[in-house]
Amino acid sequence: MHRFWAVLFSLVPVLGIGLYVLAVVGKGSIGGFSLAGLWLPENANPYTTTIDHLFDLVHIICGVVLGITTSVLAYVIWRYADHAGRKNEAAQYVTHHALLEWIWTVIPGAILVFLGFYQLQVWADNKMNRPMQTIDGNIQAIEPMALVVGKQFGWEVYYPGPDGRLGTSDDLRIENDLTVPVGRPVVLRVEAQDVLHSFAIPGLRVKQDVVPGMTQLVWFQVDKPGTYEILCMELCGWGHYKMRARMKAVAEPLDGIANGSSTEPSSTATPVADEEVKD
Amino acid sequence: MLRTRSEAQAGWDDAVEPNDREVVGRLALLVVLAAALGCTPPPQFRENALEWHKQERTARLEPGQTFAAHHRHDVSDIVSDWFGTPDDPSLPLVEGAEDPLAQLFNAENLKRAAGPVVSRDKNSSVGLYRRHCAHCHGVTGDGMGPTASFLSPYPRDFRLGRFKFKSSTTGTPPSKEDLKRLLQNGVPGTSMASFRLLKDEELDALVDYVIYLSMRGMVERFLVAAVRDLDDDQRLVNLPNGMRFAELPSKAKLEIGTPISSLLKSASDTTEAEPVDAGDPTSRATEAAEPNADSVVETVSTALQTAFDPAKVEEDLLYLVEEQLLPISEKWLGILDNEPQDIEVPEWVADRGHSDYSAQVEAGHKLYYGAANCVQCHGETGVGDGQTNNYDDWTNDWLKVEGLDPNKPEAWAGYVNAGANPPRPILPRNLRQGVYRGGDLPIDLFRRIRNGIEGTPMPASLTLTDDQVWALVVYVRQMPYEPLSRPATAPKSENQRPTR
Amino acid sequence: MSFLTKYVFSSDHKVIGIQFLISSLIWFLVGGLMAAAMRWQLAWPWSDMPILGSWLFEAEGGQISPEYYTMLLTMHGTVMVFFVVIPILAGAFGNFLIPLMIGADDMAFPRLNMMSYWFMWPAFACLLLSFASPGFGPAAGWTSYPPLAVFEEAAPGSGLAQTLWLTGLTFVGLSSMMGSINYITTIVQMRAPGMTFFRLPMTIWAMLVTAILQAFALPVLTAAVLMQIADRLLGTCFFIPEGALVGDSLVKGGGGQALLWQHLFWFYSHPAVYIMLLPAMGMASDILSSMSRKPLFGYRPMVYSILSIGGLGFIVWGHHMFVSGMQPLVGAAFMLTTILIALPSGIKTFNWLATLWGGRLQLTTGMLFCMGFIAMFVIGGLSGVLMAVAPVTIFIHDTYYIVAHFHYVLFGGTSLIVIGSIYHWYPKMFGRMMSETLGKIHFFTTFVLINCVFFPMHFLGAQGLPRRYADFTHTDSFAHLQPINEFITYSAFALVAVQVFFIVNFFGSMIFGRRAGNNPWNANTLEWVATSPPPHGNFTSPLVVYRGPYEYSVPGRTQDFWMQTDPEDADGHIAH
């Protein structure tokens, strides 16, 4: 019987790591369900490729640790379980082993400290260092191109109107529809009107909780034209699941409402790829 | 020494194992039974208990006295015969694709919007209404879904056939484009979310279904009103006592009546259309009147009959179709050729930099306090604190009819029991927040002022010129940014740095 | 003694422990059924939900409303955290084991102990009443973040139900507070002669640190809860920012900060994560050592790990708030402390494995559950490392990756130990053995199904699937994941169903189980000296402790265990 349990426990590292590998490789299928598309979705944001890199790195480290520890667990059951065959074999009397303990304190500790410092730059790039641009020889932080306000249950997008400034009476508002340019840094101001929401775009690895009474900035760059989903990722009430918007990344110059040249959305239904860009 | 495994194992396992199995088996059976019991029958359209209650009260029946059961049966039977069920919606007496009603409703659209949510079939989007709408607006479209009572304002009750935010004038139904735009933009400041990410054809389907629900609700209300003056020994459709309309053999029902298309044709051909069969032509008003029981019912039926007379039944039904269904259908059919007015937007409206801009703001300001008299309801400072004791038509429909005091819950408890929401006053918009339910494009605001908002105290301003309305629009649009009473949520400074 | 004083209003720590155990297990079932209802909705959104649907939503054809789903997820979390895991560890096992393991006749304050149980009942009542309130219960998540939880207009359950929820939480807090004061006093003051701190079993160490964590963190939560009640009922504005608009009505008041609640809440609730884990780790250490007939490897490092987890536990709460809008520099600091806290947990895992290595493993049901715990805790702990990496959290925050993580730790981890401990200490509680056959079937099915339910959630999370959504099928990004959701749902139903083996075993063994002797597992610790079940007062004669709790298979002895009270020394001489 102990062999049975040993085999069961050995499934933990085998399947645990195996399924991950299959998912990363994105091939094969289980029970008719394809494993493709189970890992990180495509990332179109160059600011966050390092996040994907960290995600993979930590998974590799963790996978190694998982493999070692759970394999040992399965092995001890196989080897050391009490059964009729080892009636005369007593358990070893070992209370501690200083060297071993130092090894498994220092090595994981070193790895963890390394991870801690290794990630700081990525954190800073995404949450602290707002992208800069050069205007007339002066380097300055990029100003937000639009204001996105979360409310129950949707995202209101405000573009500066003809005067080019946010927060004036000619601002143009549209629900759940954001248009941004491709290939250059975009800064958005995000706010909440009523309760907590979270401005999240999984396809760009962007996420920022928005808190009523606070103003936050998010920035990213979209390198691939297309349509992305903006989701709310902080429980905001019964309609939480309904709260999603569309973000279209198009080549410049923007047209329609995003450019302040029209009061109607540039196109309500046509996919971006088919869209003719006009002046 | 340590005991061996076999010793340690010798518990009750072996002795009582059969019992174990029995118990497990019974429990499994219980689970299966519970699951079987858990199946819920498909939902049905809910009877308009509110309208019944209102008619009972206003017909001055003795307190506690209700209409005869066969009246309620007749109405619900006829309505479900004409409109089907939530899982299987149908249209009254439609014949062929040429039928005008078939043009108003795309049959495919109704099918797509109705029915239960089927999520397993990835490519089909049926059950749209119940997936996205029913938990607020109710399966019946009565605005009484499970979420409804928590929302402010209450979700719309489609059964009155009135819609607030549309390009058309008060009294005419909204165009399909209006309803679709409303789905795309939501209604800011309410719980109505924007459904912009739904596919175009899904939105079309939902629009059709909402019109269908609205029509169904209107017909039901008219039929209830028609019952109002009938005696207990009369019936809407002359069937033998105790026989229900729904029990009629389907063959009999099919033979009854002329297809609605031919009725409509004759109705639209000429205003003094020939009476098709029975009934009084003058009472068939082309603009749908409110349920008006006085003129409707006298000729409907007399005493209960004992024998089943198909001819008489047909006559009664045809009369009902003419009196109740046709006006409503015609009203909705009007939207097919209801072209939105072409309104020219002056250049200075959207452009703060335009030279006329500030003069127009000033003109709007004067109008607000003067000729347009916005100040009466929206208040001195525009925060919506003027007249705040009004109720909208959906509430007045029953509250005013009986002259009930909204502040005395015991007075209208019966209505709440019948499904009404507790009355809440309709508040004039706080114009300092920049939240405009009907949309905040200049053209939206123009229409709100020009046409009024149906069902609310906001009147159509017919005396103002177009330019005056535009001036008001410009003034209203910059009210949230006026420093004097700038709302707390407005950004404190432009392009404010993040607080961190 | 009447039946009432003996079994209901008893001040005997064992009776109170069993009362906690049974009421928590009942809530466990309730919480599990709620999870099943949620899974139904996730696999087949808006379809006719059995029982609940026809009971509450007949007019909609059994299709639940979205706020009902939000209520379910709120109450599932609340019930599982506050009514199951915390009371079953500290309340049930803490109560039952502490006096027995340190050789005391009862708790230091028996009546306070009784009160700590009976203060759970007002909390139960509040929760049950909130189910009957408008909206069928609170719906702001178990974390009850304001402003959603404060504005009545914002959520259907944020009216009376939310107030009841907060009141219930206050009672749970009072109960825990009474318990923790009692545990600290008992452990410090009432140890048997010879029971030095470094002769305490790991369970007791863990309970001590847990009690200290509770005593220091709970006042903060209680204060925060009272502040939220004040915001709701008295018109204060601790958590209400200025100028919030709900719908289009301006919320009165303002000037508060919504993030303040998150800080206060997580200042309690992150230590609470360890409150929900440390006792399980302690009990696992005891079971593993006695069942592998081998001393616990590295006893002192194990103690220091527990202490450092307890200490670090107070300065890592900010990792719940990486993307909350908190100043990113603070986030960076929290990231470093959070990464460090992985180390002591890792050391404990390695020590457990070293304990098993070279042992003579008795694969009882309790032992299997413990080893299952290690496997699950390794997975849950390692995914925790990923979460400590703040930039990665930007992506996986509030996705199913988080759901997978804390279910691996709390369900795969703590709950397995709780069940394993029931199998292990059941003989002491009820004087009879549980069925090993049923137990092993239970372990096998539970272990496999837990992984079927929660492992695929990692992949859902890697796709960015948000948690707390009532329906994914209408989104573009996630509709293709629906087959996985269905698979998880089938597994979850099976997981709930196989608990029948446990229920039958638990109650059946009270009648049919073989009578257990005083020490059925040949373990060393003091509770096995007492009779099974121990009488009121626990021990018939005064105890003296001669050695640590883990002297198994000491070379030169005929027996492979050496009880702490055994006066014989290694050569067979009786100590004087």
Question: What pLDDT digit, counting tens, does each position of C511-533 carry?
Answer: 999 999 899 999 999 999 999 89
CA of residue B498 relative to chain centroid, distance = 43
State the pLDDT at residue B338. 64
As a whole number, mean pLDDT of residues C398-408 equals 95
Measured between beta carbons, the chain B residues lying within 8 angstroms of A163 are 352-353
Of chain C residues 315-374, which have a CB less than 8 A from chain B? 325, 327-328, 362, 364
Indicate if the pLDDT at residue B491 is higher than 70: no
**Angle of helix A120-127 versus helix A98-118 axis, rounded to 10:** 30
Number of helical H runs and strand E runs in chain A: 4, 14
Could you please state the CATH topology (level 3) that the domain comprising A142-262 is classified under: Immunoglobulin-like (2.60.40)
Indicate if the pLDDT at residue C158 is higher than 70: yes
Measured between beta carbons, the chain C residues lying within 8 angstroms of B34 are 50-51
Residue of C545 and C153 predicted with greater confidence: C545
- Write the residue in C61, C435, C497 that is nearest to B43 by C-beta: C61
Q: pLDDT confidence of B96, banded at 50, 70, 90?
A: low
CA dist C168 to B13, C18, C23, C141, C174, Å? Answer: 42, 22, 15, 15, 10
State the pLDDT at residue B36. 57
Query: B465, B362 in Cβ contact below 8 A?
Result: no
Residue C72 is part of which domain span?
8-217
Q: 3-class DSSP state for residue C530?
A: coil
Query: C158, A252 in Cβ contact below 8 A?
Result: no
- Write the residue in B5, B480, B496 that is nearest to A215 by C-beta: B496
Q: How confident is the model over C215-269, as pLDDT tens digits?
A: 999 999 999 999 999 998 888 889 988 878 887 777 777 788 999 999 999 999 9
As a whole number, mean pLDDT of residues C460-486 equals 88
State the pLDDT at residue B358. 85
State the pLDDT at residue B256. 42
Q: Is residue C475 part of a domain?
A: no
Average pLDDT of the residues of chain B:
75
Residue of C361 and A29 predicted with greater confidence: C361
Of chain C residues 47-66, which have a CB less than 8 A from chain A? 65-66
State the pLDDT at residue B114. 87
Residue A43's CB: how many other CB atoms inside 10 A?
A: 18
State the pLDDT at residue A260. 62
Give the whole-angstrom CA distance, residue C427 versus residue C469: 44
Rg (CA), chain B: 29
Residue of chain B whose Cα is closest to the Cα of C508: B20
As a whole number, mean pLDDT of residues C35-50 equals 90
Q: Report DSSP letters for C327-344, one per residue.
A: -HHHHHHHHHHHHHHHHH
Give the whole-angstrom CA distance, residue C352 versus residue C299: 10
Q: pLDDT confidence of C18, banded at 50, 70, 90?
A: very high
Indicate if the pLDDT at residue C3 is higher than 80: no
Mutation site for A-interface testing, chosen from C361, C365, C550 by largest number of A Cβ within 10 Å: C361
Indicate if the pLDDT at residue B323 is higher than 80: no
In this complex, do A156 and B188 lie within 8 Å of one another by their Cβ atoms? yes
B493: phi then psi, degrees, rounded to nearest 5: -145, 160
State the pLDDT at residue B3. 41
Indicate if the pLDDT at residue B279 is higher than 70: no
As a whole number, mean pLDDT of residues C460-481 equals 88
Q: How confident is the model over C176-206, as pLDDT tens digits?
A: 999 999 999 999 999 999 999 999 999 999 9
State the pLDDT at residue B122. 54
Residue of chain C whose Cα is closest to the Cα of B1: C559
Chain C nearest CA to B257, separation (Å)? 32
For chains B and C, count residue pairs whose Cβ atoms are closer than 8 Å. 177
Indicate if the pLDDT at residue B287 is higher than 70: no
Q: Which domains does chain B have, with CATH numbers?
A: 49-337 (no CATH), 347-390+425-481 (1.10.760.10)
Residue of B57 and C499 predicted with greater confidence: C499
Residue whose pair of structure tokens reads 């239970």 in the numeric block: C442
Indicate if the pLDDT at residue C419 is higher than 90: yes
Mutation site for C-interface testing, chosen from B22, B33, B46, B117 by largest number of C Cβ within 10 Å: B117
Q: 3-class DSSP state for residue C476?
A: coil
In this complex, do A115 and C385 lie within 8 Å of one another by their Cβ atoms? yes
As a whole number, mean pLDDT of residues B9-21 equals 45
Measured between beta carbons, the chain C residues lying within 8 angstroms of A37 are 463, 480
CATH code (residue C130)? 1.20.210.10
Indicate if the pLDDT at residue C501 is higher than 80: yes
Mutation site for C-interface testing, chosen from B6, B7, B12 by largest number of C Cβ within 10 Å: B12
Give the whole-angstrom CA distance, residue B310 versus residue B320: 15
Give residue limits of the domains in chain A: 2-80+102-127, 142-262
Helices in B375-465 by DSSP H: which ranges? 375-378, 393-399, 409-417, 442-451
Q: How confident is the model over C59-72, as pLDDT tens digits?
A: 888 889 999 999 99
CA dist A263 to A158, A160, B348, Å? Answer: 12, 11, 13
Indicate if the pLDDT at residue B12 is higher than 60: no
Interface residue C408 vs chain B (CB under 8 A): no
Interface residue C301 vs chain A (CB under 8 A): yes
DSSP β-ladder status, A132-135 and A138-141: antiparallel
A230: phi then psi, degrees, rounded to nearest 5: -95, 125
In this complex, do C61 and B130 lie within 8 Å of one another by their Cβ atoms? yes
Give the whole-angstrom CA distance, residue C250 versus residue C237: 14
In this complex, do A123 and C332 lie within 8 Å of one another by their Cβ atoms? yes
Residue of chain B whose Cα is closest to the Cα of C432: B11
Q: Could you tell me the two tokens for A36?
A: 């493709």
Q: pLDDT confidence of C359, banded at 50, 70, 90?
A: very high
Residue of chain A whose Cα is closest to the Cα of B361: A169
- Write the residue in A41, A104, A235 that is nearest to C463 by C-beta: A41
Interface residue A53 vs chain B (CB under 8 A): no
CA of residue C576 relative to chain centroid, distance = 43
Give the whole-angstrom CA distance, residue C302 versus residue C347: 8
Residue of chain B whose Cα is closest to the Cα of A128: B500
Indicate if the pLDDT at residue B241 is higher than 90: no
Residue of chain A whose Cα is closest to the Cα of B182: A175
Q: How confident is the model over B344-395, as pLDDT tens digits?
A: 888 888 777 788 888 888 888 888 888 888 888 988 888 888 888 889 888 8
- Closest by CA to B108, choosing from B198, B202, B43, is B202
As a whole number, mean pLDDT of residues B19-40 equals 62
Residue B407 burial by Cβ neighbours in a 10 Å radius (0-12, 13-18, 19+)? exposed
Q: Which of B97-101, B458-462, C227-231, C565-569 has the lowest mean pLDDT?
A: B97-101
* Mean pLDDT, 10 residues at a time, chain A of 279 residues: 91 91 77 74 90 92 94 94 82 90 93 91 90 86 91 90 79 88 93 92 93 92 93 92 91 72 48 36
Kindly state the DSSP code that residue A81 receives in the 8-state scheme.
Answer: B
- Closest by CA to C283, choosing from C302, C308, C311, is C302
Q: 3-class DSSP state for residue C513?
A: coil
Chain A nearest CA to C393, separation (Å)? 9
**Angle of helix B326-333 versus helix B200-227 axis, rounded to 10:** 150
Average pLDDT of the residues of chain C:
91
End-to-end CA distance of chain B: 68
Measured between beta carbons, the chain C residues lying within 8 angstroms of B12 are 435, 508-509, 512-514
Kindly state the DSSP code that residue C295 receives in the 8-state scheme.
Answer: P
Q: 3-class DSSP state for residue A267?
A: coil
Chain A nearest CA to B351, separation (Å)? 6
Measured between beta carbons, the chain C residues lying within 8 angstroms of A218 are none
State the pLDDT at residue B30. 66
Interface residue A168 vs chain B (CB under 8 A): yes
In this complex, do C44 and B119 lie within 8 Å of one another by their Cβ atoms? yes
Residue B20's CB: how many other CB atoms inside 10 A?
A: 20
Residue of B262 and A139 predicted with greater confidence: A139
Question: Where do the DSSP E strands lie in C173-302?
Answer: 245-246, 249-250
| CB crowding B114-149: b at 16 or more within 10 Å, else e | bbbbbbeeeeebbbbbbbbbbbbbbbbbbbbbbbbb
Q: Could you tell me the two tokens for B128?
A: 């749209």
- pTM metric for this prediction: 0.89
State the pLDDT at residue B264. 43
State the pLDDT at residue C446. 96
Q: pLDDT confidence of B258, banded at 50, 70, 90?
A: very low
Q: pLDDT confidence of B334, banded at 50, 70, 90?
A: confident
Q: Is residue C386 part of a domain?
A: no
- Angle at the Cα of B344 (from B343 to B345), degrees rounded to 5? 115
Give the whole-angstrom CA distance, residue C69 versus residue C74: 9
Give the whole-angstrom CA distance, residue B382 versus residue B374: 9
State the pLDDT at residue A266. 45
Measured between beta carbons, the chain C residues lying within 8 angstroms of B27 are 500, 504
Residue of B16 and A264 predicted with greater confidence: A264
Q: Could you tell me the two tokens for C521?
A: 């597992």
Half-sphere exposure of A179 (CA within 13 A, CB side): 25
Q: pLDDT confidence of C314, banded at 50, 70, 90?
A: very high
Residue C558 burial by Cβ neighbours in a 10 Å radius (0-12, 13-18, 19+)? exposed
Indicate if the pLDDT at residue B235 is higher than 90: no
State the pLDDT at residue B120. 52
Give the whole-angstrom CA distance, residue A41 versus residue A235: 23
Chain A nearest CA to B174, separation (Å)? 20
Indicate if the pLDDT at residue C353 is higher than 90: yes
Give the contacts of A190 (CB within 8 A, at least 6 positions apart).
Answer: A147, A148, A149, A150, A199, A208, A210, A215, A216, A217, A218
Q: Is residue C431 part of a domain?
A: no
Q: Which of A234-243, B286-295, C361-370 has the lowest mean pLDDT?
A: B286-295
In this complex, do B5 and A82 lie within 8 Å of one another by their Cβ atoms? yes
Counting the structural domains of chain C, the total is 1
Q: Is residue C568 part of a domain?
A: no
Half-sphere exposure of B226 (CA within 13 A, CB side): 32
